[in-house]
Amino acid sequence: MRHYLSQHKRLIFISATLLALAVTLWETNRFLQEFKQEERAKMEILASAYQKLLDVKDDNPALLNLSSAILEKNHTIPVIIVDKNGEVVFYRNLPKDTQEYIQEKLKEFKRTDKHFKLDLGDNDYQILYYGDSSLLSKLTYYPVILVAIFLLFAAIVYMYYHTGKVSDENRLWSGLAKETAHQIGTPLSSLMGWIEILNAGNNPDIPVEEIEKDVQRLNVISQRFSKIGSIPELESQDVIEITKHTLHYIKSRTSKLVRITLQAPDKLQVLLNEQLYSWVIENMIKNAIDAMEGKGHITIKISDNEQQVFIDITDTGKGIPASKFKQIFQPGYTTKKRGWGLGLSLSKRIIEQYHKGKIFVKKSVLGKGTTFRIVLQKRKS
């Protein structure tokens, strides 16, 4: 059994990746906000220490020394202190010492809420302005870097997804080619047998009708594959008659251990392409026979409403787990030791892309059987 990476798994992978990146960005932003709050708290302590220096003067040497030590410990946060007239009286941790640069940074600090008012008494005061530390400034760019990494990763994921999609299409067309050879092989082998009989020349009863049937079968196969590469024309046709004709062909080539019954009204007009619709029914019946391991009962029930026609195909096979309801329609999925895993994926493409209908597992019970439903439109929407 061959399993290929499904679109569902790729979407889970992409979603998990995006979630991880989103969480990382959120955590990074939270860390930056906490870091800013911590710096704010440090500056409150520094402002308080500076205020103490202004208050205590020489009255308390110990407190004076402590306040001075706190101020001296600040090696990262840029600080500018101005008097009430806006003149700079103190600055620290600025990368440049020019008046022009100091004034430029002062304007930048004033545009924020990062300042403390220092009371000097007698209606005199100073204002302490501060900016982000060098470390915080560097960390501010970290989310931008993460977003850039995210975009790069998203591009890689897109390429991976696109490559996977192309790979699925390649598998589909590869399987289609193999299916072509397989389908043509059956009537071709029969024709070769008839040729041997004709060459022997000792049988007066030449089975012309059987030869004609095999030639017609080859013509049908040719028409089917020719329509896959282009948009087929849909015509209002009797789906009951076409289904009966398809079942007649299948029954003549199926074991007597498989019983196929049709429950349907006498006539029902549907928009469809006869060759492609017949192909879908054949694929569904073959799939049901495989699920029943060549023995059981297949029921095809056709019903309708004002807008749609419903074709329910029920078998008495081994059933399908609910987790596989969508996976079974993917190219390459098969539970058989031999086979391309192409029948259901082709059927889905024919019904949904070409007929604008639906095909899905209506219900399935393990050990009892499965019902597939095909939905077709009665008229153009």
| CATH classification of the domain holding 364 | 3.30.565.10
Q: How far apart are CA 190 and CA 241, in angstroms?
A: 27
Does residue 222 belong to any structural domain of this protein? no
> Do residue 89 and residue 187 come from a single domain?
no
Asked whether residue 290 falls in the same domain as residue 347, the answer is yes
In this predicted structure, what is the pLDDT of residue 340?
43
The HSE-up count of residue 179 (CA atoms within 13 Å, CB side) is: 24
> Going by C-beta distance under 8 Å and a sequence separation of 6 or more, which residues neighbour residue 186?
217
What is the rounded CA–CA span in Å between residue 161 and residue 128?
Answer: 55
- pLDDT for 366 equals 93
Residue 119 lies inside a defined structural domain of this protein? yes
Amino acid at 252: S
146/236 same-domain check: no
152-174 burial, b for 16+ CB within 10 Å, e for fewer?
Answer: eeeeeeeeeeeebeeebeebbee
Same domain, 128 and 168: no
Specify if 226 maps to a domain.
Answer: no
Residues 162 and 109 in one domain: no
Distance, CA of 283 to CA of 346 (rounded, Å) = 9
Per-residue pLDDT at 106? 87
> 87 in a domain, yes or no?
yes
Confidence at residue 321, expressed as pLDDT on a 0 to 100 scale:
92
Total domains, the chain: 3
- Element spanning 373, H or E: strand 369-377
Neighbours of 216 (CB within 10 A): 11
* Residue 331 sits in the same domain as residue 271: yes
Where does a domain end: 140, 159, 188? 140
pLDDT in tens, 297-344: 999 999 999 899 999 999 999 999 998 898 888 766 666 654 445 678
Q: Residue 55 is part of which domain span?
A: 7-140
Strand bridging mode 88-92 / 79-83? antiparallel
Structural domain ending residue among the three candidates 140, 165, 196: 140
Low-confidence spans in the chain with pLDDT less than 70: 1-10, 13-14, 49-74, 134-143, 146, 149-150, 153-154, 156-158, 160-231, 331-342, 380-381
Whether residue 273 lies inside any domain: the answer is yes
Do 322 and 357 fall into the same domain?
A: yes
152 and 180 fall within a common domain: yes
224 in a structural domain: no
- How far is it, in rounded angstroms, from Cα 123 to Cα 372? 88
> Rounded to whole angstroms, how far apart are CA atoms 224 and 236?
18
Whether 219 maps to a domain, the answer reads: no
Domain boundary among 94, 122, 140: 140
Q: Mark whether 279 and 302 lie in a shared domain.
A: yes
Q: What is the model's pLDDT at position 193?
A: 67
Of the candidates 263, 267, 281, the residue with the CA atom closest to the CA atom of residue 238:
267
User: Does 48 lie in the same domain as 80?
Assistant: yes
Q: Examine the domain organization and report whether 334 and 288 are in the same domain.
A: yes
**218 falls within a domain:** no
Indicate the pairing of strand 115-121 with strand 124-130: antiparallel
Q: Are residues 327 and 237 in the same domain?
A: yes
CATH of the domain at 18: 3.30.450
